[in-house]
């Protein structure tokens, strides 16, 4: 006869196997999974156990057909519901994607969740999932640089200061002056852009918000200076105003351009903005793109990345800037080629 200890362990194991709604586990599935974990129990006992536990946990039973199907309430907050395969794959993809964006110290904070997803999928190898590590990948759009390395103490210190609203003293490597400087920073926000994490903070006694790359903070300590709280500061508004986009003007602009068929397909599925219109292809297969976009250098660089697949018609200032840029590139390559040919003769 099973001891109370064994019964308790079986109850806990069973709860861990039941997912949140809309996912479910049938009693027959629970019986097989329990058997794999060393618990030999019949269907009637499992049903009786679940009925008992539903008095204390938000368990839901679909008894419209046999075998009965069980799940946790969708809003139940707990670590007990088991991962389903779709959620596990989502976590694996999230880890793959975040590795190209977040510093390793941030990824490490989620390692338990990611490891749990991998263990679940590894445990299903006998059921046809043996090749799952070779079947899922998340790749960034464009060339992604490796995330800048951030010291664990810096990440922790910045996180604490931001959430607890207190000032910090930092030793910061200035890129412009190439020297280490001392600042009193008042954290207002945190932004991850491409492979670099930025602390948004006011400096010393000033109220304007500046950007500080976390990997350039070489030392950090709590400050005794009273915290300068910018009550009206919004990270969303700060970004929308072009802080990270190298704005050329405050107002958005209308982009009109001729694009090829492949690029038209891309933008039809993933628009460049909410205000976008694509025309029917002309006689030569070109599509006219009309879209309201930020008037910034980021958008111009995005356009340049498509090369001869896009021809900007408006705004005229962008068209002229792109023509000038391509002329400079041509001159650079032609001069390099001349020097190379001279050296070889």
Total number of residues shown for the chain: 345
Helix (H, G, I), strand (E, B) or coil at 184: strand
* Alpha-carbon distance values, 214 to 178, 198, 285 (Å): 16, 6, 47
- Do the domain assignments include residue 146? no
Q: Of the candidates 177, 182, 215, which has an alpha carbon nearest to the alpha carbon of residue 196? A: 215
Do 179 and 211 have their domain in common?
yes
- Do the domain assignments include residue 202? yes
DSSP 191-214: EEETTEEEEEEEETT--SEEEEEG
> SS3 letters for 310-342?
EEEEECHHHHHHHHHHHHHHHHHHHHHHHHHHH
CA 37/CA 6 separation, integer angstroms: 12
- Do the domain assignments include residue 270? yes
Do 45 and 95 have their domain in common?
no
Do 257 and 323 have their domain in common?
yes
End-to-end, the C-alpha distance of the chain in Å comes to 94
- Do the domain assignments include residue 77? no
Do 62 and 95 have their domain in common?
no
The CA angle 325-327-332, to the nearest 5 degrees, is 95
- Do the domain assignments include residue 25? yes
CA 16/CA 331 separation, integer angstroms: 66
Do 100 and 128 have their domain in common?
yes
Model pLDDT, residue 160: 85
Do 259 and 228 have their domain in common?
no
Helix (H, G, I), strand (E, B) or coil at 25: strand
CATH of the domain at 263: 3.30.70
Q: What number of CA atoms fall less than 13 Å from residue 218's CA on the CB side? A: 10
* Alpha-carbon distance values, 274 to 115, 242, 261, 268, 280 (Å): 38, 17, 20, 11, 19
- Do the domain assignments include residue 198? yes
Model pLDDT, residue 1: 43
CA 219/CA 322 separation, integer angstroms: 42
Q: Of the candidates 146, 132, 62, which has an alpha carbon nearest to the alpha carbon of residue 101? A: 146
CB count in 10 Å sphere of residue 326: 13
Q: Domain containing 43: what range?
A: 4-72
- Do the domain assignments include residue 142? no
DSSP 264-287: HHHHHHS-SSSSEEEPPP-TTS-E
Model pLDDT, residue 249: 64
Q: Per residue of the chain (345 residues), what is the pLDDT tens digit?
A: 455 666 777 888 888 888 888 888 899 999 998 888 888 889 999 999 999 888 888 899 998 888 899 998 887 766 556 666 677 777 777 777 777 667 777 777 777 777 777 777 776 655 555 566 666 666 666 666 777 888 888 988 888 888 788 999 999 998 776 789 999 999 998 888 777 888 999 999 898 999 999 999 999 999 999 999 888 888 888 877 767 766 666 678 999 999 999 999 999 998 999 899 999 999 999 999 999 998 888 888 889 989 999 999 999 999 999 999 889 988 888 887 766 666 666
- Do the domain assignments include residue 335? no
Q: Of the candidates 110, 210, 209, 199, which has an alpha carbon nearest to the alpha carbon of residue 162? A: 199
Q: Which of 72, 93, 125 is the last residue of a domain?
A: 72
CA 238/CA 341 separation, integer angstroms: 50
Do 160 and 227 have their domain in common?
yes
DSSP 38-80: T----HHHHHHHHHHHTTTS-EEEE-SSSSPEEEE-TT---S-
CA 118/CA 213 separation, integer angstroms: 32
Do 163 and 214 have their domain in common?
yes
Do 160 and 209 have their domain in common?
yes
Model pLDDT, residue 215: 92
Do 31 and 93 have their domain in common?
no
Do 199 and 156 have their domain in common?
yes
CATH of the domain at 20: 1.10.10.10
Q: What total of structural domains would you count in the chain? A: 4
Q: Which of 180, 206, 240 is the last residue of a domain?
A: 240
Do 167 and 223 have their domain in common?
yes
Model pLDDT, residue 312: 95
């Amino acid at each position: 006869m099973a001891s109370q200890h064994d019964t308790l362990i079986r109850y806990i194991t069973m709860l861990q196997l039941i997912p949140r709604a809309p996912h479910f586990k049938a009693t027959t599935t629970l019986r097989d999974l329990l058997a794999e974990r060393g618990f030999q129990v019949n269907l009637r006992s499992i049903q009786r156990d679940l009925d008992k536990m539903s008095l204390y946990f938000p368990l839901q039973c679909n008894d419209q057909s046999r075998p009965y199907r069980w799940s946790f309430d969708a809003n139940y907050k707990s670590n007990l519901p088991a991962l389903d395969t779709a959620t596990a794959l989502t976590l694996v993809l999230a880890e793959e994607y975040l590795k190209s964006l977040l510093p390793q110290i941030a990824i490490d904070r989620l390692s338990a969740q990611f490891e749990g997803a991998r263990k679940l999928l590894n445990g299903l190898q006998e059921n046809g999932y043996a090749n799952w590590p070779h079947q899922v990948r998340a790749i960034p759009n464009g060339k992604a640089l490796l995330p800048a390395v951030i010291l664990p103490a810096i990440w922790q210190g910045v996180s604490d200061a931001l959430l607890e609203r207190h000032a910090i003293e930092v030793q910061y490597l200035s890129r412009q002056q190439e020297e280490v400087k001392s600042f009193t920073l008042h954290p207002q926000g945190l932004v991850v852009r491409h492979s670099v994490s930025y602390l948004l903070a006011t400096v010393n006694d000033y109220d304007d918000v500046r950007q500080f790359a976390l990997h350039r903070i070489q030392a950090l300590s709590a400050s005794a200076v009273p915290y300068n709280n910018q009550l009206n500061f919004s990270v969303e508004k700060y970004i929308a105003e072009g802080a990270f986009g190298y704005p050329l003007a405050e107002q958005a602009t209308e982009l009109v351009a001729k694009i090829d068929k492949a690029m038209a397909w891309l933008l039809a599925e993933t628009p460049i903005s909410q205000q976008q219109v694509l025309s029917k292809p002309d006689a030569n297969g070109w599509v006219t793109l009309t879209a309201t976009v930020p008037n910034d250098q980021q958008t111009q660089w995005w356009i340049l990345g498509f090369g001869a697949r896009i021809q900007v018609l408006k705004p005229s200032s962008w068209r002229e800037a792109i023509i000038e840029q391509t002329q400079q590139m041509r001159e650079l390559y032609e001069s390099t080629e001349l020097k190379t040919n001279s050296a070889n003769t």
